[in-house]
Structures are given as structure tokens and as C-alpha cells.
Amino acid sequence: MNRTKGDEEEYWNSSKFKAFTFDDEDDELSQLKESKRAVNSLRDFVDDDDDDDDLERVSWSGEPVGSISWSIKETAGNSGSSHEGREQLKSRNSFSSYAQLPKPTSTYSLSSFFRGRTRPGSFQSLSDALSDTSAKSYAPELGRPKGEYRDYSNDWSPSDTVRRLRKGKVCSLERFRSLQDKLQLLEEAVSMHDGNVITAVLIFLKRTLSKEILFRELEVRQVALRHLIHFLKEIGDQKLLLDLFRFLDRTEELALSHYREHLNIRDPDKRKEFLKTCIGLPFSAEDSAHIQDHYTLLERQIIIEANDRHLESAGQTEIFRKHPRKASILNMPLVTTLFYSCFYHYTEAEGTFSSPINLKKTFKIPDKQYVLTALAARAKLRAWNDVDALFTTKNWLGYTKKRAPIGFHRVVEILHKNNAPVQILQEYVNLVEDVDTKLNLATKFKCHDVVIDTCRDLKDRQQLLAYRSKVDKGSAEEEKIDALLSSSQIRWKN
């Protein structure tokens, strides 16, 4: 540490934590950086003795050897390799050779949790553990695994049957043959609250009752009904599920459930055809419009994709050569599609499927959204003229005027994100109406001229003076500030 003692005192003591904000990046981060530097400067000293000694390990590491996830990665990484590789793998994974693996830089493993009772290589045996803990009398279920044992007795009452089912015992339900018995069984299951048992009974009912009767009885038993619906979803019995919704007259769920299937269709053309079948379904009015849009969008995307893939592989189109496509446009959301078309097809006439204007019209994209997206796309391509045109409007007298539906402060931020040069940024910062916002943005993005001019217009000498320290020494900006400060023309307010 090169700091003098006084320096350091001052640094640590001048606590900067007033009200906390995440915006105070400079302050907070610099303090963090300082701490980090302090800590890092110790590293030489710390790291010079070897790390393999058996000092107590910090309880963390990157993928510790010996952890289960590590081991599985090893198996996966090696599988499919040559025979030799597999031999190697075998010996690697066998217990005996384990100890020969290189030591990890640091280890956290199970053993460290039971420190004191385990040395590496000697793990507690089962009997150890049992005698060890026998001070407390428990060991529930240990030693008698459930599930294996069966009971063929036929005399269990519904409530006994349900209780046995809950314990995981196999229990025949075949003797519940009358509808009344079946329903009583179901009601017992429901009143016990165990969903697993409810489902078990439902599986039995589904097998032994006609679906009309089953549906009818479940309609007045909502808890059981929900279990059946979830069960059908899980095992993927779409047909019965749709029948059920139809029976219950839950038209919207029926429609959504049908629509959901499109997620499982990969082929874009098949998916499109499937979506077409969804269009007439009884969705809510709002959803219907979305389904229609979904279909239209995919239809468009298929056309655009075929066309652009062809253009790209032909290698004749400049934009595709300069900016090869990163992914297919298929199944992308609408806004992504709009961005794509603003990027690759900006100048196309409205008549083509891929033109941004056409997309905007077809899908009724709001002006704000359109401008945001187009701006981002054109700024990414550094097409500043297009950006300019996006905000230029002509009034009826032929005068041009700048207007941004999203507010120029947003425009500036987006331009900055896309690394626009200062001249461009400056132009748009100047268009921000609110003076404070303008000054803030100009300062943030180092648009010196804007800051200086604004201070001058505000006649704020103090602020200008303060800003002088932020510009480079001997720069044109500094000269400009000095000229202003010494000017007798201005009546400063402070």
C-alpha cells in the first residue's frame, strides 16, 4: 500500500454512506474498488505459501472432486469415447483409484460437515451411525422398507383402505364395485387431503367407470376434479382432458388446452397449420385476436425466413454479408420480428411482407413501440440518417420539426447504449425539453458543449466553474469555459 497513513485514515473515515442509492455508482464503487485493492494487495503474501497444505479449507470450491455432480460430468464427458477411453473411465470411477486423483484446490465435501468424526477415506459405517445416534430413540421406518409388502385382505372399509393407501401399501380396490362404494372411497380420500391417494382412487375410477358417469360425479367434487385434470395433463391424455372440459362446458380452458399443444410441434409449417385450427376456438375476445395474430405472424415468418436464408446463402446482399443472421426468425415474438425487419428490410416498400411498415400496419403496433424498435435497429447499424429521419416531421408550411413520441431523453439513452458518437448524442440531448434532465444527460454522456451552453443560458456561473474541473486540461472545452467566465457580456446569477 502506497498510501500514507494520513491518507488512509481520511479515506476510511470519510464515510460516504448518506442516503443509499444505486445511482451513486462512482462513490460506492470506488469505495468497493478501494477495499478490493486493499485485499488484493495482500494476495502476494497470502498466496506464496502453497495451497496444498492441510490448513482448514475454506468451505467452497469450484466443482469439488468427489462431489456427485462432478463425478456425473466426468461420466458424461467420457461416454461415447473410444474403448480405451472407457477402460480409463472405468478405472477412474472405481473406488480404488479415486485417491490418486489430483487434489482439488480446495474441497468442501460431506466429510467436512462431520469434521472430527471423519478422516478422508474412513467414513462412518451404517452401524456406527446407528449406535452413535441411539441416544435419541428414533430411526423411523429404517429397516422396514415400505411398499414391498402387500395385503390381499378384502375387508378393508373405505377409510381403512384410504389410510393404507396413504402409507404406500398396495391395496386392492377391486371390491369397490357399486357406484356408491366408489364415491365413498373417493370422499374418504378427499377428506384425508393426501393428493396421491386421491389420484390413486381416481385412476381406479377412471378405469372402472364410463367417462360420462365419472365426469358427472366429479363436476360436483371440485377437489377431486382438479386432481383428475392435473393427472390427465401429466400423463398427456389430451383427448380425455378435452372431453372433460367439453363436458364441463369450460370452453376457454378447452381452447387454451388445445392451443397449448402447438408448443410440442416443431416443424414450422405443421405448427402454422395447427394454429389455423385454433383460430375459431372459443377464446375470450382479447385472446382470439392474439391467436389470429400468432397465426399470421408465423405465416409471415415462414415466408421471410425462406427468402432471407436464400439471400444470405447467395451472398449477394450486402447487409447479410456484413451482418450475418444469428438465428432464424421463426417463432420469435412480434417485437423481435419487427426489429429484424427494421435491421434487414428497412427500406422495403410497404407492399412486401418483410417491410417494417407492413408489420406495423398488420399487427397494429403502437407508434411508440415502433419508434423504439426502429431506433434501436438503425442505431445498431449506425445509420444516423435513418435515425434523424425517424424524428423529423414536416408541418403543412414545409418547416421541419423534431418530434419523438417516446421523449428525447429515451432516444439519447438508446443511442448511448448503441455507442453513438458524441456529435450525434449532443444533437439529441439538445432536443430534451426539460433543462434539468438535459443537463443531467449531457453531464452523464460527456456532451461538454451542451453542458457549457446550458450553464451559460442559465447564467449559472457556479455550475460552470464546477464543470471546468471535469473537462480535460488545455482542451477546447476548457478554453470555451474560460472565455465565458471572463466574458463581461453575461450577467451571472451567482
C-alpha closest to that of 208 among 170, 180, 179, 239: 179
CA 106/CA 101 separation, integer angstroms = 14
Q: Which of residues 372-401 bind other proteins (CB under 8 A)?
A: 372
- Number of residues located near other proteins, criterion CB under 8 A: 128
Cβ neighbours of residue 469 closer than 8 Å, sequence gap 6 or more:
none
Q: Which of residues 8-37 bind other proteins (CB under 8 A)?
A: 12, 15, 17, 19-23, 25, 28-29, 31-36
Amino acid at 111: S
Q: Is 365 in the site for other proteins (CB under 8 A)?
A: yes
Among 287, 386, 388, 449, which residue sits at the site for other proteins (rule: CB under 8 A)? 287
Q: Which of residues 219-238 bind other proteins (CB under 8 A)?
A: 219-220, 222-223, 225-227, 229-231, 233-236
CA 69/CA 72 separation, integer angstroms = 5
Among 48, 50, 76, 326, which residue sits at the site for other proteins (rule: CB under 8 A)? 76
CA 350/CA 144 separation, integer angstroms = 75
Among 7, 75, 91, 392, which residue sits at the site for other proteins (rule: CB under 8 A)? 75
CA 158/CA 162 separation, integer angstroms = 6
Q: Give the shortest CB-43-to-other proteins separation in angstroms.
A: 8
Cell numbers at residue 447, please?
456532451
Cβ neighbours of residue 185 closer than 8 Å, sequence gap 6 or more:
158, 161, 162, 173, 176, 201, 204
Region of 109-117, 313-321, 354-362, 448-456 interacting with other proteins (CB under 8 A): 109-117
Amino acid at 454: T
Q: Give the shortest CB-464-to-other proteins separation in angstroms.
A: 28
Region of 130-138, 316-324, 350-358, 453-461 interacting with other proteins (CB under 8 A): 130-138
User: Which x/- pattern, by CB under 8 A, does the window 154-173 give for other proteins?
Assistant: ---------x-xx-x-----
Among 55, 314, 327, 349, which residue sits at the site for other proteins (rule: CB under 8 A)? 55
- β-sheet bridge partners, residue 401: 393
Q: Give the shortest CB-72-to-other proteins separation in angstroms.
A: 5
Write down the H helix ranges in 400-458: 408-417, 422-429, 435-444, 448-458
Q: For 115, phi and psi rounded to 5 degrees?
A: -50, 145
Among 7, 10, 52, 59, which residue sits at the site for other proteins (rule: CB under 8 A)? 59
- In the complex with other proteins, which residue's Cβ is closer, 324 or 333? 333
